[in-house]
Chain A
């Protein structure tokens, strides 16, 4: 219940911010009776109304366990994906994918490092070959560019 109430407050604030931004859009086009402001304004108002309903309708729910038990692992995985995608262009597809796959398999429960490293290396090579050579996607080379 606290979760939904909290979400309702966050959504309400988000809706108000969205409305505030919408109010700044002025169109000068001739013949456009509505302008760029009205539609986002309507959406924002709907968000606010629905947020109020969400707040009122929140019912008690069984607790799913502590934050650490439930959300810690998924969110850290998401952080790893974020690091992966941000480093991919500067560092290159091959090294970042390899490191990400090692980290992710270990994080998802693989206890044997050699297995994890072997699998990550194999999969990286396969993905690189399939998407770069066959589909010609020009994946970022990163520092490997100098080698090849």
Chain B
């Protein structure tokens, strides 16, 4: 226990350095601005800023990315409440009651409870992160390549089953990411694969290029038609704070949301979306009068918003201790670390303690900054939504191009970004979820490497993945996660069990 306090004090000494404090504040502010843009959530927001943050040191970069991440989530809730446009899937439940509240002139209350809920959940989350990440990292030291391979398979399969409505399309998206990751020199033998004799392809496809193309550019292409046809309108805010009664009403929803978010967030691949939907369903089920939900019940905002934020912290547990990102955003942060030659995983705690503890402390600091920053800035964020989209989106494209140019500096990578943008556009139009693709791209090289190392150790026997106990159990869980949607759909067909309507 003493160790934790000692380490945390060290973390705060990193996070509270003037430079890092500035990074956190700038990150939170920029993140909030980006998050408010319709359709741009944490994944796109952090992806956009990678090129800028990787020029600093790893600890500062992670501090800024975390702040951006939090800022984007908060900004996304703002648009969910004000204009009924969720920044990303995990903010969808917030629109159910949040936008209703805005229509009733209670936008101030909704925004305030979302900020408070996020702050409380984030605080509880950081405590849990400190308690669990170190023991888990200890366990992880005993993991061999077979265990890592199975864990990555579990992460990929859960993300795929939870994303989107078609499992086949989600798996295709995931394999698309894995295939993109095979481009470049083979790590073990050095054979060039899928480079087509183009020298620039030897390093593989840059994560930034893929993330910006698949997420940001595709989004702009997707809404091009809507931008031309009309603009969005929203109601004015009448009050900027919530009443004591509303606060008391939402308190337990916040605590429950935080617990739900943390637990679900720690599972590799489950992430924020499932936890915010789960929390909304839970609040509705626990309410004495469920019919108030969907009509502006503040608990319907407080629960999912807290869950959302807590799961963001939860996702850091497997990222830092196992090197396996628990969500798409965590995957992007892992990519940023890898660009800076910091490999997440158990060794991170000994090799880069400033990154680990600085990051944990800065999560707390970012939370506080966001709370201080955002409540007075609600008025400003509303102004951003007034920028005409036909000016906003061309500007976003220009920033994407600059971002890719900054890391890649080659027209081949820029061309690749455009091609991936069109691919992402096609995928979005046809309901292929994009999260699995980015997770596949990030995990791909390590997935193959650990598979081959495990097979080298076992002398080519595939049974090693099943006979090693931890690996076998994890693989069984992965198989279960793939089968589960089918089992649920079988159960759902019986009339009395109603799962879909609850959320």
Q: Which of A74, A89, A123, A135 contacts B398 (CB 8 A)?
A: A123
B430: which A residues are within 8 A, CB to CB?
Answer: 3-4, 7
5 A/B residue pairs, CB under 8 Å, sorted by A: A22-B193, A75-B422, A104-B397, A109-B228, A137-B402
Set of chain B residues within 8 Å of A120, measured between Cβ atoms:
394
Given contact pairs A33-B460, A47-B175, A108 touches B389 in the complex (Cβ within 8 A): yes
In the complex, what distance in Å separates the CA atom of A35 from the CA atom of B189?
7
Q: Does B179 contact A (CB under 8 A)?
A: yes
Q: Does any Cβ of A come within 8 Å of B395's Cβ?
A: yes
| Residue interface mask B393-406, A partner, CB < 8 A = 1 | 11101110110011
Contact B395 A123 (CB under 8 A): yes
Chain A facing B: main interface SS: helix
B393 touches A104 (CB 8 A): yes
Q: Which B residues are CB-close (under 8 A) to A7?
A: 430
Q: Do A81 and B397 contact each other (CB < 8 Å), given the known contacts A74-B225, A88-B411, A127-B402?
A: yes
The answer, yes or no, to whether B110 is at the interface (CB within 8 Å) is no
Instruction: Report A115-147 residues with CB < 8 Å from chain B CB.
Output: 119-120, 123, 127, 131, 135, 137, 139-140
The one of B175, B221, B393, B395 that contacts A50, using a Cβ cutoff of 8 Å: B175
Chain B interface residues (CB < 8 Å from chain A): 52, 55, 166, 168-169, 171-172, 175, 178-179, 182, 186, 188-189, 191, 193-194, 217, 220-222, 224-225, 227-228, 388-391, 393-395, 397-399, 401-402, 405-406, 411, 414-415, 417-418, 421-422, 425, 430, 448, 451-452, 455-456, 459-460
Is the beta-carbon distance between B402 and A131 smaller than 8 angstroms? yes
Chain A nearest CB, measured from B338 CB (Å): 19
Contact flag A82-B415 (CB < 8 Å), given A43-B175, A108-B389, A137-B405 = yes
- Asked whether, in the complex, the Cβ of A27 is within 8 Å of the Cβ of B401, the reply is no
A residues near B179, Cβ cutoff 8 Å: 18, 40, 43, 47
**CB pair A32 B452 closer than 8 Å:** yes
Q: Report the bound CA distance from A51 to B390 in whole Å.
A: 38
Q: What chain B residues lie within 8 Å of A9 (beta carbons)?
A: none
Q: How far is the CB of A26 from chain B (nearest CB, A)?
A: 8
A108 touches B182 (CB 8 A): no
* Contact with A73, one of B169, B178, B191, B224 (Cβ below 8 angstroms): B224
A74 touches B186 (CB 8 A): no
| A108-B414 in contact (CB<8A) | no
Q: Which chain B residue shows the least CB distance to A76?
A: B224
Tell me if A113 is interfacial: C-beta within 8 Å of chain B. no
- Expressed in whole angstroms, the Cα–Cα distance for A55 and B166 within the complex equals 13
Question: For residue B229, which residue of chain A has the nearest CB?
Answer: A109
A33 to B401, CA, bound (A): 42
Query: A77 with B406: in contact, given A31-B456, A34-B456, A104-B394 (CB under 8 Å)?
Result: no
B405 touches A33 (CB 8 A): no
Residue from B55, B388, B417 having most chain A Cβ neighbours under 10 A: B388
**B417: which A residues are within 8 A, CB to CB?**
85
Once the chains are docked, how many angstroms separate the CA of A135 from the CA of B52?
A: 8
Residues of A within 8 Å of B390, CB to CB, are: 105, 108-110
Q: Decide yes or no whether A16 CB sits under 8 A from chain B.
A: no
Between A31, A47, A85, A88, the greatest number of chain B beta carbons within 10 A of the residue's beta carbon is seen for A85
Q: In the bound complex, what is the Cα–Cα distance between A32 and B227 (angstroms)? A: 54
A40: B residues at CB distance < 8 A: 179, 182, 193-194
- Contacting residues, chain A, for B228 (C-beta < 8 A): 73, 108-109
In the assembled complex, which residues on chain A have CB atoms less than 8 Å from the CB atom of B389?
108
With A27-B189, A36-B188 as contacts: A77 and B52 at CB distance below 8 Å = no
Distance to closest chain A CB from B44 (angstroms): 16
Contacts of A50 in B (CB 8 A): 168, 171-172, 175
Cα of A127 to Cα of B166 in the assembled complex, Å: 40
In the complex, how many angstroms separate the beta carbon of A40 from the nearest chain B beta carbon? Answer: 5
Q: Are B172 and A78 in contact (CB under 8 A)?
A: no
Q: How far is the CA of A123 from the CA of B399 in the complex (A)?
A: 11
- CB closest residue in chain B, given A40: B182
Chain A residues, Cβ within 8 Å of B166: 57
B188 touches A78 (CB 8 A): no
> Hey, which chain A residues are within 8 Å of B222, CB to CB?
74
Report B-chain residues with C-beta under 8 Å of the C-beta of A81. Answer: 217, 397, 401, 418, 421
CA of A34 to CA of B390 in the docked complex: distance in angstroms? 52
Known: A27-B186, A33-B456, A73-B228. A101 touches B191 (CB 8 A): no
Nearest 10 pairs of A and B residues by beta carbon: A104-B394, A85-B414, A27-B189, A108-B390, A74-B221, A36-B186, A33-B460, A109-B228, A36-B191, A39-B448
Contact of B225 among A70, A86, A97, A100 (CB under 8 A): A70
Residues of chain B contacted by A4 (CB below 8 angstroms): 430
Q: From B224, B402, B415, B459, give the contact of A74 (CB < 8 A).
A: B224
CA distance A32 to B188 in the complex (A): 8
Residues 7 to 50 of chain A near chain B (Cβ within 8 Å): 7, 11, 18, 21-22, 25-29, 31-36, 39-40, 43, 46-47, 50
Interface centre among B189, B394, B414, B421 (most CB of A within 10 A): B394
Known: A3-B430, A107-B224. 5 other contacts (CB 8 A): A32-B456, A33-B459, A40-B193, A46-B171, A73-B224
